[in-house]
Amino acid sequence: MSAKTTASKRKNDAAIATHQSIQDQIDAFLNAGGEIQNIPNGVSGQTWANPHRASKGTR
């Protein structure tokens, strides 16, 4: 079976607008003194409460 190849598709206008919107927000954040942190792979930003305490009132 041969693989079909297609010409690369142009991103639709909504995707381009969304990308530009995100870039504008990042630029505004950085210009206002914000800082972007580089988090290594495998590190979670989730912080969990003690699981025994969190479920205390749900039994």
Residues 45 and 39: beta-carbon distance below 8 Å? yes
* Percent over 90 (pLDDT), the chain: 27
Whether pLDDT at 52 is above 70: no
Q: What's the whole-number average pLDDT of the chain?
A: 78
Mean pLDDT of the region 24-51:
87
CA 43: distance to chain centroid? 15
pTM: 0.47
Compute the CA torsion angle 36, 37, 43, 49 (nearest 10 deg). Answer: -80
**Sign of the alpha-carbon dihedral angle for 11, 13, 19, 23:** positive
Q: What is the pLDDT of residue 47?
A: 78
18/57: higher pLDDT: 18
CA 47: distance to chain centroid? 18
Q: What is the pLDDT of residue 15?
A: 77
Distance from C-alpha of 38 to C-alpha of 41, rounded to nearest angstrom: 9
